Structure 1
Amino acid sequence: MTSAPDAPGGAVDPVAEPVVRAQGTGLVAALTFDDGPNGADTERLLDLLRDTSIRAVFAVIGENVLARGGADLLRRTVAEGHVLCNHSMSFADMGGWPAERVADDLRATLRTIRDALGDPAAPVPYWRAPNGSWGVTAGVAVELGMQPLGVVNTIQDWEVQDVETLSASLRAAIRPGELVLAHDGGGDRSGTVTAVERVVRERLADGWTFTLPLPR
């Protein structure tokens, strides 16, 4: 792979306040997934989204892109129309980091993503801080052309992978006009994916539409 230049992330007029709303009105919500790409869990999510014609945001970890199979999953994610979010090179808490260190990490993640895609200017319009620990990261992301993406309506799937528990949490987390956050990486997320498969199909049957985050 070749090193890519530091092109801006691709957000239009980003601001430091994180986006928390979904596009559209009525029964709409935006699906966002963190911590991938991650083998079979990401594959299953992509299968679901393809079969239901839903686009989502995937907040990816640079180390996972570099892991075995990660680049292939990332390329599939983009090829199928999903939107990328920079989620740092690792799972480190960046809340106490100085701006220069944050910028180095965000740039490294952008380069890793773009090298995997073979596109030095591939759009990565969002930034989401690991663990929701923002510190100065939102301002740095804006300077690098990325819009911070809110950490809201989580289902706490880092604590449990029981499908019934997660299904109930996801039903409560899908709220009209808002984002919802689940994880396809950071460990075994098979329970999360099963819950997403179940609840997304329920919501579609009930007349919901899944969109993308509301642009600034």
Structure 2
Amino acid sequence: MLFVKGWVPLADFTRIVFDHFRDKSRQPPPHPGRDASEDKLNAYRDECMRTAFEAEIEARFAVWHCIHAAPRIGVLCASGRVVDAGASLMESVDYEMEGAHVHIWTGTVGSASWMDDSGHVSNNEDKKLYYGPFLYCPVLLPEQHARDFFAELSADSSSPPRPPEHLADQIVAAFDLDPTVRKSDLRRQLAAHEKQISFEVAYQEAARKRPELNKRGPKRRIDGPN
């Protein structure tokens, strides 16, 4: 696909950032060997999964931070013209892959999932009414901004902050007491003074024990255009 000079497709930028964090100099722990005990093998697998979780969380944060720091966000129309997008189009939801309107991996207007009040995923007709001719048009980042951001990202070799000890267990315990508890409430109650990325790492560790934590995506009400 051809794009207007001076712009970078969000989907392409997202893949570059994810590749960066996957290749980042964080080697998996040494394998304990074929004769290792079951406990040591389980610990090794857990550490490998933890590393993968952290890499994905860092990548998601980096992409959304780049988006929110961008001086402009463009949308490529079918005519080849680039129009400016409003800030609300790029609203994030807990720095997940899907924002309110855009899935950063897909990188197009309306690529995020929508659900009505009954929990049913919307169809394209609903989205066409809301987004009009901009539905599924590519979202673009200013090329120089993306280059500068990635250069700064590459220069920073620091590891993500580790979550406080037992925070993941506290999240599990809170969920077991109240399975309807919201992610934002867990953050406020258990990790109000921690960095968001620390909480995200602990939350994903908790979700490995309680997969239901990651199956309760936010509902997006479809009201249609004003």
Structure with the higher fraction of residues in helix conformation: 2
Structure with the higher fraction of residues in strand conformation: 1
Task: Tell me, yes or no, whether TM beats 0.5.
Answer: no
| Larger CA Rg, structure 1 vs 2 | 2
Question: So what's the TM-score if we normalise by structure 2?
Answer: 0.27
